[in-house]
Amino acid sequence: MPAKTRLVMAIASSALFDLKESDAVFRRQGLEAYRNYQIAHEKDVLEPGAGFALVKKLLQLNDVENVEIEVILLSRNSADTGLRVFNAIEEYELDIRRAAFTGGAPPYRYMLPFGAHLFLSANPIDVVDALDNGFAAASLMANQVSSTSTPMVKFAFDGDAVVFSDSAERIYQQDGLAAFTAQEKAAADIPLPPGPFAGFLSRLHAIQQQFNGGSCPIQTALVTARSAPTHERVIKTLRNWGIRLDESLFLGGMDKTEFLAAYGADIFFDDQAEHCHLASRVVVSGHVPHGVKNPR
């Protein structure tokens, strides 16, 4: 029997559950009031957050023979205040067993020891920390949408500054569309440098390689503002990386929202917050604050 291919996703409690109420206590009254509030409400079950449906679907893939999915909780809570989160995990029967409660310290430090391939959070600061240290990470938009009805998990990715570096995007921002198009045509045979999600996409592809035909429970799609003739460099880059996508949408600047709905995406990653806000009406959207569109 072939070895299972592992996928490890780390998620913050703020992305897994709706913590707006307790977060408001922290912001208004401080840490001690927050601690007392969480302890007082320890038995009150938290409502699902933006990443809940994705986590539930991913964990169900452990029933598939060739896949091993693990979800790790990375939280700025202390173990004391985090007990409410674990109570909710137990209530919803989520198979999450490992956690790091950092007591306010940056959580990304534990991604490498846990072997995590992706970090999802509602805290943009923690996401930036993770990205700056070489990890795939995204800040989930607060909007909640219904989970897709199929057991298949569908990931959708923007291209530049997400799967690929922002090197081409920088030319577009600095010199305009004509210069960008000319550059990409001239460099069609030169692979684009990898972006922050290249490794995560590669891991998904490794899982897909364990299956024959259309039996894989994970699908991937590129949903990019590029169009012909700048598509060629993207296609050849993925070919050079040995990565196959199930679908590729070259939209030439059109709004991505309806296309994501038609694809049936469970989550969409984009470096532009505006695109994520629009898409969050139909799909869980993760903002990747990386590249020239996200100056720091």
CATH label of the domain that carries residue 199: 3.40.50.1000
Q: What percentage of the chain exceeds 70 in pLDDT?
A: 96
Q: Which of 35-49, 186-200, 269-283 has the least mean pLDDT?
A: 35-49
Q: Which residues are catalytic?
A: 158
pLDDT at 101: 92
Mean pLDDT confidence for 120-137: 96
Q: How many domains does the chain have?
A: 2
Domain endpoint, select from 87, 105, 140: 140
Whether residue 281 is found in the same domain as residue 176: yes
Whether residue 14 is found in the same domain as residue 62: yes
pLDDT at 178: 93
**Global confidence as pTM:** 0.93
Judge whether residue 104 has pLDDT over 90. Answer: no
163: Cα within 13 Å, side-chain hemisphere: 27
Q: Is residue 64 part of a domain?
A: yes
Whether residue 32 is found in the same domain as residue 96: yes
Q: Is residue 241 part of a domain?
A: yes
pLDDT at 146: 63
Mean pLDDT confidence for 200-228: 91
pLDDT at 1: 47
Domain endpoint, select from 90, 117, 140: 140
Q: Beta strands of the chain (E only): which ranges?
A: 5-11, 67-75, 99-101, 118-121, 137-140, 153-157, 218-224, 247-250, 267-270, 284-287
Domain that holds residue 175: 153-287
CB 281 within 8 A of CB 264: no
pLDDT at 147: 64
pLDDT confidence bin for 2, thresholds 50/70/90: low
Distances (CA, A) of 83 to 100, 107, 116: 12, 17, 22
Partnered with residue 71 across adjacent β-strands are: 9
Mean pLDDT of the chain: 92
* Pairing mode, strands 247-250 and 99-101: unpaired
